[in-house]
Amino acid sequence: MKELMIGNKAIARGLYEAGCAVISSYPGTPSTEITEEFAKYDDVYCEWAPNEKVAMEAAFGAALRGKRSACCMKHVGLNVAADPLFTMSYTGVNAGMVICVADDPGMHSSQNEQDSRHYAIAAKVPMLEPSDSQEALSYAKLAYELSEQYDTPVLLKMCTRVAHSQSIVEIGERVEIVKTYEKNPQKYIMAPANAIKRHPFVEERTAKLVEYAETSGINRIEDGDGNRDSTHDFGIITSSTSYQYVKEAFGDSVAVLKLGMVNPLPVKLIQDFAAKVGKVYVIEELDPIIETHCKAMGIDVIGKDKFSILGEFSQKSIEAAFDMADKTVFSLDTAIPVRPPMMCAGCPHRGMYYVLAKNKLTVLGDIGCYTLGSMPPLNALDMTLCMGASVSGLHGYNKAGGDETGNKTVCVIGDSTFMHSGVTGLINIAYNRSNSTVIILDNSITGMTGHQQNPTTGYSIKGDPAGKVDLESLCHSIGINSVRVVDPYNLEECERVVKEELAKNEPSVIISRRPCVLLKYVKPKKPLHVNTEKCRSCKRCMKFGCPAISFRDNHAVVDETLCIGCGVCAQLCPFDAFESEGE
């Protein structure tokens, strides 16, 4: 059966068909749908873990026990999970294990543009890189075969364009694979005496995998139309979505070495290709991994000198590099205002941000929807680094700043990010006693990635009742004495409590609690409207940045299709111009 699928769904299908029985993941764009799609199958186990390290170790445990397993994450998630990855390379697996990692060239929704292929090289683990949905499905299945045959976890690398592009795939049947677990301390206990014996195994395995890369067909030469010599006096080595752009630009008129396995890379295959075509271009997004490999072999390829190290490619960037004719385009004289993403109308984060901005506090931020609080008009954030860094960073900031910062600085972190890696930072605050005020923006869901459950919501990935972390009790038991809960729709309460907690000379936590307005169970109230008699055009409501409020004909107007009746604007208006129905 043929179906149009995004790459992530195709991976989920491939994992399923290969008999994957356990997936543990942490959501992260552009990887999230792999796990969400897998969770739709009935006869498998699937979960959201608190973070990627926990997820990878859970998947390792499942593979150790004898069931094919997987874990999925975005590129920066692999930083979190790097610790188990490097040593799993030594232990190997029992049943197969696949790690799906999705890079985000162009940073559509990420804080950096790191290239995950470095991890495959550093951890000495094979990495497959599909270029469309059909390959995503096939490579997921192949990854398990390689994992078991070569006794290694296998990295399956996606990028945004492959993860989120739909193309046609052929669906197959599921197989069931179960291995028996046998105690094997020399293989699975990575104490020095054992680990030192496993390292040679890793090096031998890589040598065998290079042989596989030379001959298996996952890396293939497409010879062009056979008259290549008369059209182009060069060949191209490429992989992933770049392969599609090359084919779009050149069709079959150029010889291509298409790599499906990007670690370890073949040697002889590349030498043969280079000998045949003469001049070789390497076209790869982000870092010059293939290029560096070729140059180390003494093949003088052209790569990053011609193709950017930054961002995504397209057929256009390749055509431009080869001086192919530009297409004619329309252009307008009027400047078009930008349309950045923003916090939704009625977003509970907005009220708290308004209070923080109004009081001119220094605010260390974190990763999630609430990073949007950095945008105008609130401009409420000073720093965003990585998951959990707001809390640990605040501790160091206050230790360095002493009395000067403790009562003017807070950090903000979402409920899911707090569970991911904020809690360890809070333990440091409590243990090493910094005068820090941590604000947990608890909207009862993992928002930015599209509503995934987490340990604070009380529900599993399938929506079934699950364990639930009680944030107040957790903070108390860590050693935070002052734990307050506020409603971010109540500006007066938020401002009062923030000031009180900042004034205290001890660690404190404020939980700003209100579920995300996009959650199905959150029923909107009736929209407000502006009494134009009362509105005096002071524009104070415009400083709040609610997308439902705009300014027309010299007074504020509420867009009734967007307003959910949260009423925060009414608290801001000095003239009581915002009214709810019936007033």
Partner 1 sequence: MTKNVMIVGVGGQGSLLASKLLGRLLVDEGYDVKVSEVHGMSQRGGSVVTYVRFGDKVYSPVIENGEADFIVSFEKIEAARYVQMLKKDGTIIVNTQQIDPMPVIIGAAEYPASIIDEMKSKGVHVDDIDALSLAQEAGSAKACNIVLMGRLAKYFDMPKEKWISAIEKSVKPQFVEMNKKAFELGYQCS
Which residues sit at the interface with partner 1, rule CB under 8 A?
Answer: 2-4, 29-30, 32-33, 108-109, 132, 160-161, 164-168, 241, 244-245, 247-248, 314-316, 326-344, 369, 372, 375-377, 448-450, 518, 539, 542-543, 545, 547, 549-551, 561
Least Å from the CB of residue 314 to partner 1 = 5
Least Å from the CB of residue 14 to partner 1 = 18
Given the complex with partner 1, which of 105 and 488 has the nearer CB atom? 105
Contact (CB, 8 A) for 539 and 498: no
Least Å from the CB of residue 539 to partner 1 = 7
Given the complex with partner 1, which of 207 and 335 has the nearer CB atom? 335
Given the complex with partner 1, which of 191 and 329 has the nearer CB atom? 329
Whose structure tokens read 């990295």? 155
Given the complex with partner 1, which of 150 and 578 has the nearer CB atom? 578
Least Å from the CB of residue 495 to partner 1 = 22
Whose structure tokens read 């111009």? 577
Least Å from the CB of residue 166 to partner 1 = 4
Tell me how long the chain is. Answer: 583
Given the complex with partner 1, which of 126 and 545 has the nearer CB atom? 545
Element (H, E) at 14: helix 7-17
CA distances from 50 to 10, 32, 47, 457 (A): 25, 14, 10, 12
CA distances from 392 to 19, 20, 425, 473, 551 (A): 40, 37, 4, 20, 41
Least Å from the CB of residue 564 to partner 1 = 13
Contact (CB, 8 A) for 128 and 218: yes
Least Å from the CB of residue 2 to partner 1 = 7
Give the separation between CA 224 and CA 235, rounded to whole angstroms.
9
- Residue whose C-alpha is closest to residue 366's, from 434, 310, 439, 430: 439
CA distances from 465 to 352, 419, 459 (A): 30, 18, 5
Give the separation between CA 355 and CA 324, rounded to whole angstroms.
54
Give the separation between CA 117 and CA 370, rounded to whole angstroms.
30
Given the complex with partner 1, which of 179 and 540 has the nearer CB atom? 540
Least Å from the CB of residue 256 to partner 1 = 11
Least Å from the CB of residue 129 to partner 1 = 15
Contact (CB, 8 A) for 25 and 73: yes
Residues 6+ positions from 134 with CB-CB distance below 8 Å: 10, 167, 168, 169, 170
Given the complex with partner 1, which of 157 and 205 has the nearer CB atom? 157
Give the separation between CA 166 and CA 153, rounded to whole angstroms.
27
Given the complex with partner 1, which of 66 and 547 has the nearer CB atom? 547
Give the separation between CA 108 and CA 159, rounded to whole angstroms.
11
* Omega prior to 264 cis, within 30 of 0: yes
Give the separation between CA 488 and CA 355, rounded to whole angstroms.
9
Given the complex with partner 1, which of 29 and 152 has the nearer CB atom? 29
Least Å from the CB of residue 320 to partner 1 = 10
Sheet holding 234-239, edge to edge: 220-222, 255-259, 234-239, 279-283
Given the complex with partner 1, which of 26 and 245 has the nearer CB atom? 245
- Residue whose C-alpha is closest to residue 371's, from 335, 333, 329, 417: 417
Contact (CB, 8 A) for 61 and 67: no
Given the complex with partner 1, which of 205 and 228 has the nearer CB atom? 228
CA distances from 202 to 124, 196, 262, 446, 519 (A): 7, 11, 17, 38, 47
Give the separation between CA 79 and CA 86, rounded to whole angstroms.
11
Least Å from the CB of residue 110 to partner 1 = 9
Least Å from the CB of residue 164 to partner 1 = 6
Least Å from the CB of residue 308 to partner 1 = 15
The tokens describing 364, both together, are 């260390």
Contact (CB, 8 A) for 139 and 130: yes
Least Å from the CB of residue 145 to partner 1 = 27
Given the complex with partner 1, which of 300 and 330 has the nearer CB atom? 330
Contact (CB, 8 A) for 429 and 507: yes
The tokens describing 483, both together, are 């734990």
Least Å from the CB of residue 468 to partner 1 = 25
Given the complex with partner 1, which of 17 and 132 has the nearer CB atom? 132
Please report, to the nearest 10 degrees, the dihedral formed by the alpha carbons of residues 381, 512, 52, 185 taken in order. Answer: 130
Given the complex with partner 1, which of 165 and 428 has the nearer CB atom? 165
Given the complex with partner 1, which of 301 and 343 has the nearer CB atom? 343
